Structure 1
Amino acid sequence: MRKSLFILVSLIVLSVSCSDRDDDLTSVQLRIKNSSSLTFDRVLVENEEHIYENVGSDAFSDYQEYESAYRYNYIQITSGEETFVLQPIDFVGEEELPIGLYTYDLSITEEGEVVLEFVID
C-alpha cells in the first residue's frame, strides 16, 4: 500500500514539474535585465504603457505583456538625474516576435550609450 501511494505521489510531482513556464502564454512577455553598475530607477520601453521601475544592478524586472514586440525597441533609462536613450533608426525587415518569454539585457557604456542584448528565455 505504501509503495503504491509513493508511486502515485511521485507521478503527480513529476507531471507537475515537467511543464514549461511558457506553455500557457498567450502573448509576448518581456522583461529587463540590468547589466550595468547603475540602478535603473525607470526604464521606458516603446511607450508609457511599458515602464519598469527600480531594476537594481545585475537584477531582473518582472515580465510585462506586449501585444507586439521586436528584437530591439526605443528605450529610455533614468538613473538618478541621468537619462540614457536607445533610439532605433527603423524597423525595416524586422519581424514581430512570436509568443514567448524574452529579455532585454541592458548595459550602459562609459560614453553613456545604451547597449541592448536580446535574449530568448
Structure 2
Amino acid sequence: MNRVYLLSVIIVVLLFSCTDRDDEVNLVNIRVQNSTELFFSEVRIVENDTVYENIEAGEFSEYMEFERAYAYTALSILTDSTSLNYVPVEMSTDTLPIGFYTYEISLDEENQVDLTFRIDD
C-alpha cells in the first residue's frame, strides 16, 4: 500500500512541476544564430539598441526579451577583425506576437550580411 501511495505522490508532483518554456512568456524572445566562421563580439539590434555579446561561430546567443520587435531589423555586428552592417530592404511595420524567434546571421559570397528570420518551436 505504501508503494502505491508513494508512486501516486511522485506522479502527481512530476505532473505539476513540468512547465513548458511557452507557459510563462509575456514578451517577444529573440536569439541570434551565428552561421558564419567569424566570432561575433557584439551584435547590436539597432531599433532597440540591444546588444548580444560573444557569439561563437556556429553557435546561438541566449534569448533576450523585447516589448516590440520586427521580423527584419537593422543590425550592427562587430567581429575580431571587422565591422559588418545589415539594413533590411523593406522595413516591416508589423510587430511580432509574443513567442520565440531566431535571427540567423550568415554571409553571402561577397561577404555581405544575410539575415534569416525563423519562428522557433
Range class of TM-score, shorter chain: 0.7 to 0.9
Q: Which amino acid aligns with 2:26?
A: T
Going from structure 1 to structure 2, the CA distance change for 1:20 and 1:49 (only over 3 Å counts) comes to same
Equivalent-residue separation in structure 2 for 1:52 and 1:44 (angstroms): 6
Task: Point out the more displaced range, 58-67 or 5-14.
Answer: 5-14
Q: Which runs of 4+ in 1 moved over 3 A?
A: none
Q: Tell me if 1:78 matches 2:78.
A: yes
SS in 2 for 1:37: coil
TM-score normalised over the length of structure 1: 0.88
Report the RMSD for the aligned CA atoms in angstroms.
1.6
Q: Tell me if 1:14 matches 2:15.
A: yes
Check the 8 A contact 2:47/2:73 in 1, yes or no.
no
Check the 8 A contact 2:42/2:53 in 1, yes or no.
yes
Task: Point out the more displaced range, 19-28 or 45-54.
Answer: 45-54
Q: Aligned residues, how many?
A: 119
Could you list the runs of 5+ residues in structure 2 that have no partner in the other structure? none
Identity of aligned residues (%): 35
TM-score normalised over the length of structure 2: 0.88
| Structure 1 residue 7, shift from structure 2 partner | 2.2
1:29-68 alignment to 2 at 5 Å? 29-47=29-47, 49-68=49-68
